[in-house]
Amino acid sequence: MLNASCVTIVSMRLQQFLARSGIASRRKAEDLIRAGRVSINDQIVEIGAVVQTGDIVRLDGERVRMPQKNVVIALHKPKGYTTTHEDEHAEKLVYELVPQHPGLHSVGRLDKDTEGLLLLTTDGHLTQLLTHPRNQVRKLYRAWCKRGRVSKEVCQQLVQGVMLGDGLAQALEAQPVKDGIKLVLAEGRKREVRRMLGKVGHPVERLVRLAVGPIELGELEVGHWRYLTQEEIKLLHSNTGSLRLRKPAQAQRQKPAAAPSKRKAQHRPEAKSPQASVRAKKGAVESSSERLSTWKRQGTTQRSPNRRPNTRTGRADKT
């Protein structure tokens, strides 16, 4: 695993090295390699070449270096901005809103009309970790729908899955909210949330992404950005699937404490003072003396169940 702050080259393809160095996209980097403009250790190379630790890469004779530190930026993407480096028809790009870093790229994409949390980084390993389907990184969305609040039945339908043109799409969680719905998804298909809600008859008016894994949008204002702390970056590396929808307030009320069992209360011994214990023992001795006197007056005796008569003496022996 690459460290969250420092870049260490172990082994990577040349086009990936050029892209992460901020020279060009991987596709354009391949064009540069085919044109014979890139060398490794002063040898012109072809597509498929691999860069190892200590190799010197040059483009048109100028050395290409990897950035010394990786950065991760959280951006509150406004509506109308395109998440791409290369789009001739795009009017506004998200990269106009953040500082320039060699190799900076978005972690996944948000549609032009979608707002909310967008992560950008120079760490290719982190990007792969957050975007690979097997890692099931949860993303939280808040949608305002034309028909208002989405019913619980429709939420259940979204969790069970709806069939789209590119296959079954499922929400991991869905919760009705004012004027719409909150959804948790772990996929990143194109316009997936909008298509899912349109399929169940709730077209989207506005869509905002509130969280990616453990990183939340919070109070970050529209168009503003911030660097993630090293603690947050480590959290992204180690805890990518922790996001859960909060239950409504009424569902969080605590149940009243169960009443103690009457049966147990009846058998619970009461604390006695030392004086009470002495009085109880004295009373027990007096009762025994009274019973013995009564038996003597009546000429009766009481034989212990553990004693049997001795045939020779007529006395009872202990067993």
Specify the CATH number for the domain of residue 18. Answer: 3.10.290.10
Residue 228 has pLDDT above 50, yes or no: yes
Question: Given 3-state DSSP classes, what are the helix, strand and coil percentages for the chain, each rounded to the nearest 5?
Answer: 30, 25, 45
The answer to whether residue 232 sits within a structural domain is yes
In this prediction, residue 301 carries a pLDDT of 44
In this prediction, residue 269 carries a pLDDT of 46
Asked if residues 193 and 185 have their Cβ atoms less than 8 Å apart, the reply is: yes
User: How do residues 243-270 score in pLDDT, each as one tens digit?
Assistant: 556 655 443 444 444 555 444 444 444 4
Using DSSP bridges, classify how beta strands 316-318 and 115-121 pair: parallel, antiparallel or unpaired: unpaired
Domain boundary pick from 194, 222, 245: 245
In this prediction, residue 160 carries a pLDDT of 95
On whether both 136 and 210 belong to a single domain, the answer is yes
User: How do residues 6-60 score in pLDDT, each as one tens digit?
Assistant: 445 557 889 888 877 777 777 888 999 999 999 999 999 999 899 998 899 999 9
On whether both 167 and 80 belong to a single domain, the answer is yes
Domain boundary pick from 224, 245, 266: 245
Using DSSP bridges, classify how beta strands 57-59 and 62-64 pair: parallel, antiparallel or unpaired: antiparallel
Lowest mean pLDDT among 95-109, 120-134, 286-300: 286-300
On whether both 151 and 99 belong to a single domain, the answer is yes
Domain of 33 in residue numbering reads as 11-64
On whether both 26 and 120 belong to a single domain, the answer is no
The pLDDT confidence band at residue 304, using thresholds 50, 70 and 90, is very low
The pLDDT confidence band at residue 239, using thresholds 50, 70 and 90, is low
On whether both 189 and 124 belong to a single domain, the answer is yes
Q: Average model confidence (pLDDT) for the chain?
A: 79
Domain boundary pick from 219, 245, 271: 245
Phi-psi region of 140 (alpha: psi -120 to 50; beta: other; left: phi over 0): beta
The answer to whether residue 281 sits within a structural domain is no
Asked if residues 138 and 183 have their Cβ atoms less than 8 Å apart, the reply is: no
Output phi, psi for 132, to 5 deg: -70, 130
The pair of structure tokens assigned to 169 is: 């799409």
The pLDDT confidence band at residue 70, using thresholds 50, 70 and 90, is confident
On whether both 100 and 240 belong to a single domain, the answer is yes
The answer to whether residue 103 sits within a structural domain is yes
Which residue has 């019973």 as its token pair? 291
Share of the chain above pLDDT 90, in %: 50
On whether both 37 and 140 belong to a single domain, the answer is no
Q: What is the CATH number of the domain that holds 81?
A: 3.30.2350.10
Asked if residues 90 and 113 have their Cβ atoms less than 8 Å apart, the reply is: no
In this prediction, residue 161 carries a pLDDT of 94
Tell me the catalytic residues: 111
On whether both 31 and 163 belong to a single domain, the answer is no
On whether both 208 and 92 belong to a single domain, the answer is yes
| pTM score above 0.75 | no
In this prediction, residue 243 carries a pLDDT of 54
The answer to whether residue 145 sits within a structural domain is yes
User: How do residues 72-85 score in pLDDT, each as one tens digit?
Assistant: 999 999 999 999 87
The SS3 call for residue 185 is strand
The answer to whether residue 284 sits within a structural domain is no
User: Domain tally for the chain?
Assistant: 2
The answer to whether residue 152 sits within a structural domain is yes
Mean pLDDT of 192-199: 96
Residue 124 has pLDDT above 90, yes or no: no
On whether both 132 and 42 belong to a single domain, the answer is no
